[in-house]
Chains A and B, each alone.
Chain A
Amino acid sequence: MTALWILAGYWDFILFGPYPKGPLGGLALTAAIALTSLSAAFPLALAVALARLFGPKAISRAATAYVYIARGVPLLVWIFWIYFLIPLLTKQPADAFVTLVVAIVIYQGAYLSEVLRAGIVALPKGQFEAARALGLRSGLVIRKIVLPQIVVQVMPGLINQMTLIIKESALGYVIALGELTFVMGQINLDLMNRPLSVFAMLAAIYFVICWLLSRLANVIVERARWVTAKTDISRQCPPSASQRLCRRRRPGLRPNFALCKSKG
């Protein structure tokens, strides 16, 4: 009941923050942070994944070091690094939105590069050999052969990354960026005596968004599996060979032995 009462009184503040009287905030800002961060993290992650796989040794090592260091330190520490380093170097206060987005890009770029790298590694080796045999240059191989395939393959991974970023954007609270968590914190201060209702509602809002996104990712995985099951020649191989292929190609999934055997 309290939740409905809070919603009735504050729905526009939860959605947009103080906007239009002040800067955009609330859920809209959370969405803006997530979309900006993901779009900025993607090219970085792709560059890092390609550097690790195909780059010269020094660059590949540097990319690997980045991936490990970025993931080894809490996001909050990256936020503080940027938030306090910017004024030191530029003599101007750091913008909270820029700080949070840059920190998330550094942090999640490393995770996303692992997702993309796994997608590239999972491509059949013959594709690279065929491309090389045709004399395609590596830039062309990446653009015409690697990218179109992994974009479909890593789509669920990208959506999962989106939910991670939405959850991490709650740390905007720490640097007083008026995203969803900060806005609900203000509502909590405003109401004084309803903390459980306010924070339960905050959790519920995040839950609905992230749960729906992860459902979406699952639907895409199922779709993709259905499409590959129809076209996958490995299903038509004799059992032993097909078992081998099933295992090799999708290390994350359990091979469906029943299906393989019935076809053989």
Chain B
Amino acid sequence: MGMPELDFSVVFAGDYRSMLMSGVGITLSLFGIALPLAFLLAVALATAAGFGGRTLRIAVDGFVAYHRNTPLLVQLFVWNFGLSQVLPRALNRVINASHPELVFSIVTLVCYAAAYMSQDLLSGLRAVPAGQTEAATALGLRRWQAVGLVVLPQAWRFALPPLIGQCVGLLKATSITAVIGVGEMTNQARQIESETFRVIEVFTVITAAYLLVTLPLMLVGTALERRLAASSGREAT
């Protein structure tokens, strides 16, 4: 027994170093590609649910409910093993020509994050009192002006802290893609571990790598939340 001796140089040298670096690259690419796409989709979903008709609202509710009530891993399986079978043949040929597991990973991550983000955007919108729109239109602003100039800037302040939380969630979610063979950070770490048995070293490195991104995000989120709570408390008194 006893603690094994640590030797980080193994992990940082030669092949293993390049494996780790490519893992970091793929994790950051998944995150960097999925985040803006998810945000755009979330804005579309929130707009449809907030300003659209009944049918649109029900469709968005269904989309959100599916992504919130099933495991991310299962959503990934549904895309990668299930829906991939029924896509149009031409589309499938294009996807299979590149890396299908990467494509389906990004699609899954975008839908998953967008479902959660759309709810944050909507609750941001709802947090703005109705009196604001009424006051704006009473002052002679058009409806779109009232929304764009008065409601959205305030809704944004309410939505930002939870959206930052979703960024953290999305970065962590990229690790799931390891299960279908995407060579992101966690997958590379597992492979290096199986070749070197340097459990502590390898996982310390990737744990630190995740924290390097998530900790600052979480701290910023908490600070914004606190400021928001303080300012709305001041307004109330």
Contacts and interface: CB of A to CB of B under 8 A. Distances in A.
B207 interface: yes
B75 interface: yes
Interface string B140-167: 0000000000000000000000000000
Contact of B210 (A74, A90, A167, A197): A74
A76 B72 contact: no
B218 A68 contact: yes
Nearest to B83: A196
A36 to B, nearest CB: 18
Nearest to B126: A254
Interface stretch (A48-56, A79-87, A130-138, A230-238): A79-87
Contact of A199 (B4, B65, B78, B175): B78
Main secondary structure of the interface of B (DSSP, over half): helix
Contact of B199 (A71, A85, A171): A85
Q: Range of interface residues on chain A?
A: 35 or more
Contacts of B17: none
Given A71-B168, A195-B81, 11 more contacts: A68-B219, A72-B214, A77-B186, A80-B190, A84-B199, A85-B199, A170-B73, A196-B78, A200-B82, A214-B69, A251-B232
Contact of A206 (B69, B186, B229): B69
B44 interface: no
B74 A206 contact: yes
Nearest to B178: A76
A73 B214 contact: yes
Interface of B: 1, 3-4, 65-66, 68-75, 77-78, 81-83, 85-86, 126-127, 129, 168, 172-176, 178-179, 186, 189-190, 193, 197, 199-200, 203, 206-207, 210-211, 214-215, 218-219, 229, 232-233, 236-237
A72 B220 CA distance: 13
A202 interface: yes
Nearest to B72: A167
Main secondary structure of the interface of A (DSSP, over half): helix
Contacts of B219: 68
A195 B82 contact: yes
Contact of B1 (A73, A89, A169, A196): A89
Contacts of B77: 181, 185, 199, 202
Interface string A190-201: 000001111110
B200 A74 contact: no
B196 to A, nearest CB: 11
A91 B139 CA distance: 75
Interface string A168-179: 111101100000
Nearest to A196: B82
A243 B203 contact: no
A168 B68 CA distance: 12
Contact of A181 (B74, B178, B193, B232): B74
A257 B129 CA distance: 10
Nearest to A202: B74
